[in-house]
């Protein structure tokens, strides 16, 4: 698992790319244009996006309202999606848990690894809860085995 942060920058953008891992992105503030084969969307504060492993996408920050995001790169065999999945984190639970992961990403010592995996499970399950009504089967709740050994 890798956790990172994109700070607001009116010139930030990433041309079309994909990853061998899943990527979950929470928009903290600002706006960005996201596009992928067959779709596009303006992502705003409160949106959480899941890019499945191997799925091409690009992101461009809005020049007037630069985007700030927190992202997690991870593997999870139980996540099955054919494309980008977007959910609205109205209560801020996903974003808060992602902030905790970001703050503790460099912490060392007994228990920190287990705590990070537990937070990732919470985030993935909350994201699935937000999207269950619209995308049944995104996460097989019987199998929430996460591979936390991925590093980018």
Residues paired with residue 126 on neighbouring β-strands, in sequence order = none
Mean pLDDT by 10 residues, the chain (152 residues): 94 95 96 94 95 94 97 85 87 92 79 84 89 53 39 36
Dihedral sign, Cα of residue 66, residue 70, residue 76, residue 80: negative
pTM over 0.85: no
Is the Cβ–Cβ distance between 129 and 87 less than 8 Å?
A: no
Q: What pLDDT is recorded for position 151? A: 37
Q: What pLDDT is recorded for position 141? A: 38
Q: Which residue bears the tokens 């980008």? A: 84
Q: Residue 70: which of 2, 5, 151 has the closest Cα?
A: 5
Q: What pLDDT is recorded for position 89? A: 92
Q: What pLDDT is recorded for position 115? A: 85
CA–CA separation, 115 and 85 (whole Å): 26
**Pair of tokens at residue 57:** 């996408």
């Amino acid at each position: 698992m890798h956790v990172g942060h994109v700070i607001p920058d009116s010139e930030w953008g990433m041309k079309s790319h994909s990853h061998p891992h899943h990527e979950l992105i929470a928009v903290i503030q600002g706006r960005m244009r996201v596009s992928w084969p067959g779709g596009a969307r303006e992502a705003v504060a409160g949106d959480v996006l899941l890019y499945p492993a191997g799925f091409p996408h690009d992101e461009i920050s809005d020049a007037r309202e630069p985007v700030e995001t927190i992202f997690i790169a991870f593997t999870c065999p139980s996540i099955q999606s054919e494309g980008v999945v977007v959910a609205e984190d109205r209560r801020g639970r996903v974003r808060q848990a992602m902030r905790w992961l970001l703050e503790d990403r460099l912490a060392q010592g007994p228990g920190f690894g287990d705590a990070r995996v537990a937070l990732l499970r919470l985030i993935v399950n909350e994201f699935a809860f937000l999207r269950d009504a619209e995308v049944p089967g995104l996460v097989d709740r019987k199998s929430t085995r996460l591979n936390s050994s991925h590093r980018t």
